[in-house]
Chains A and B, each alone.
Chain A
Amino acid sequence: MSTHTENTAAAPVPRHRALRREIAAEWVRLSSLRSTWWCVAAAVAGMALFAGLMGWTQLSAARDDALASSDVEFAQLTSQGYFYLVQFSVLVLAALASTGEFAHRSAAATLAWNPDRSVVLLARALVTAALAAAASVVAGLTGTGVLAALLSGHVAFPLGEILATVFGAGLCMALFAALFVGVGTVLRGTAGTVMAGFLLLLGLPLVMQLSGVDLVDDLAALTPGLAGIEFYAAGDVGFYSAPFDGPVNVAVVVGWTVAALLAARCELALRDV
């Protein structure tokens, strides 16, 4: 063992360097867990399965009625795959990244290593968001590939539109990942975080739409799941018409994410580990 004297005179670490180091540590934490890769695999496999099923249905329709099948929207199908499957893989990924340490009491080690809660939270949100974005883009491209393989020769293949959806969804899934890192840090429980995420992304907006009250129905568009799909499907969701178009939808998701991370930061400051 070397002597300890060299450490006692350590100069303060600039915050940006501390963040870079924490990001590297967070990547080790996230990538060294098998559950992380199961979530990534679930996102890609889920999208492939969804595209396969939808592609097969469209292919059957095209064989029956070639004229009707020309209405098939690649981007719309891909965005629905994100909405129904991929976003829930991202939810579980973020929930495990943020709550696993509290469940297994390893959060004490993480915060003892770096007591700057802002840096720890920001690093976790950035790393989880980056992985969620990458997994979502791979899932989207996989789904598009499956659709293209099944439907080539039957429908048009609008590459620009598809890429806009895939990368828009990647951005949105990154924001969802950061959002649920915040929610998970506040709740500190995996089950509670997954439940809250499911309600925010799907349950709550569906119930609000069922209410029959116009105002409540419109407010459902401000929940992150519906605002997200409206953004990455570029207004062509297919099962729902939003009252708001354009960048306001991604701004809504950003707002939810910032609010969740601020709540998480406050919670880390106020609650003991």
Chain B
Amino acid sequence: MAERAASLALVTQRQGHEGTDAVLTADRLTKRHGPRTAVDGLSFTVAPGRVTGFLGPNGAGKTTTMRMFLDLVRPTSGRALVDGRRYGELAWPAREVGALLEAGSAHPGRTGRAHLRAKAHVCGLPRIRVEEVLDEVGLTAAAGRRVGGYSLGMRQRLGVADALLADPGVLLFDEPVNGLDLDGVRWMRELTRRLADQGRTVLVSSHLMSEVEQVADHLLVVGRGRLVADAPVQELIGAWSHAHVVVHSPRPGPLRQCLERAAGTDARVRVETSGDGALRVFGLSPERVGDLAHEAGTPVHGLWSQRASLEQAYLELTENSVEHEARTPEEVHA
């Protein structure tokens, strides 16, 4: 565990503040609500042309951080900058940054079309742009209905239309797939990918690693308001997957001794015994483990290579960072 943390720390240090083309910059960003610290000294940059996943459990500070980029929440200390300036100091903020905030940032008594028309006025855009973007998100037929009658997925689509309306170069999507059906999720993934491929800066928050894994090029992982990891997705998998070989034997003792003898002084090789008696061998190939078992003369009932998924890596990264954790009845009564 300590080695993994060290390897990840290297990844974090290498990636943090890297890149002079960063569009979004969080600089020691901190937000406290009374005694509770929602965001704790967060520093990272987000570059254009790629999808940056902003990942963390519920309550990790993702939404608060995004709102600080939009000047909706004032940082207790530190800065959240867009193109090196505070959001409010941008020449025309709504045309430069588009945001999908939580589903429900449109008044339920207003129609979807009226919601977008109000923004079109602020952005100095023609009415036709409202119709274009409604068509793009598939809401044309429902645009004349009041938002209160929309499903959660429709409200998300309206939020996406709001974000895309002014054709901005920076997009902040807060939990964009919440409430979307399977078609909607696929549409959202393709849209996110396309926006990044067009050279835009795209920051997508989620508490679902499985979702971010499919779309993000780079990951920022937060837990309890702190940055836990800042790395390209593949590098994160590499640093945390720790491929190992699982070997089942009715006589694990002699096999373990043989494996440890073979490892010698190579610090990369180590052997652990899992709960079910199987051995987990790190740093050796499955073929080498099979050969060593044969040399030791121990029977082998099972042998396979295993890679941890990114999801497992995420769970390990944030295992001490979950704000709202359910407990089993046994834990409650302990």
Does A111 sit at the interface, judged by CB under 8 A?
Answer: yes
Closest 7 CB pairs of A and B: A32-B114, A25-B121, A115-B88, A24-B121, A25-B118, A28-B118, A109-B105
Contact: B168 with A115, CB < 8 Å?
Answer: no
Interface string of B130-174 (1 = CB under 8 A from A): 000000100000000000000000000000001010111100000
Contact with A along B87-114 (1 / 0, CB 8 A): 1100111111101011011111111001
- Asked whether B93 lies within 8 Å of A115 as measured between CB atoms, the reply is yes
Residues in B whose Cβ lies below 8 Å from that of A4: 167-169, 198-200
Q: In the complex, what residues of B have CB within 8 A of residue A22's CB?
A: 121-122
Interface of chain A residues 1 through 27 with chain B (CB within 8 A)? 1-8, 10-13, 21-22, 24-26
In the assembled complex, the Cα of A63 lies from the Cα of B266 at a distance in Å of 115
User: In the bound complex, how far is the Cα of B94 from the Cα of A29, in angstroms?
Assistant: 17
Q: In the complex, which of the residues A3, A7, A21 contacts B122, with contact meaning CB atoms closer than 8 Å?
A: A21
Q: Given A35-B109, A105-B105: A7 and B72 within 8 A (CB)? A: no
How many chain-A residues does the 8 Å CB contact rule pick out? Answer: 39
Which residues from B are CB-within-8-Å of A106? 104-107, 115
Q: Verify if A33 is at the interface (C-beta below 8 Å from B).
A: yes
Q: Which residues of A contact B (CB under 8 A)?
A: 1-8, 10-13, 21-22, 24-26, 28-29, 32-35, 100-101, 104-106, 108-109, 111-116, 270, 272-273
Smallest CB separation, B107 vs chain A (Å): 4
Assess the B72–A273 pair: CB atoms within 8 A. yes
- Give every chain A residue within 8 A of B107 (Cβ-Cβ): 29, 33, 100-101, 104, 106
Task: Offer 18 A-B interface pairs, CB within 8 angstroms, sorted by A.
Answer: A1-B136, A4-B198, A8-B96, A10-B91, A10-B95, A21-B124, A25-B118, A25-B121, A28-B117, A32-B110, A34-B109, A108-B72, A113-B94, A114-B93, A115-B87, A116-B88, A272-B72, A272-B73
* Minimum CB distance partner of A100 in chain B: B107
With a CB–CB cut-off of 8 A, which chain B residues contact A7? Answer: 92, 95-96, 166-169
> Known interface pairs A1-B164, A4-B168. Does A108 touch B105 (Cβ–Cβ under 8 Å)?
yes
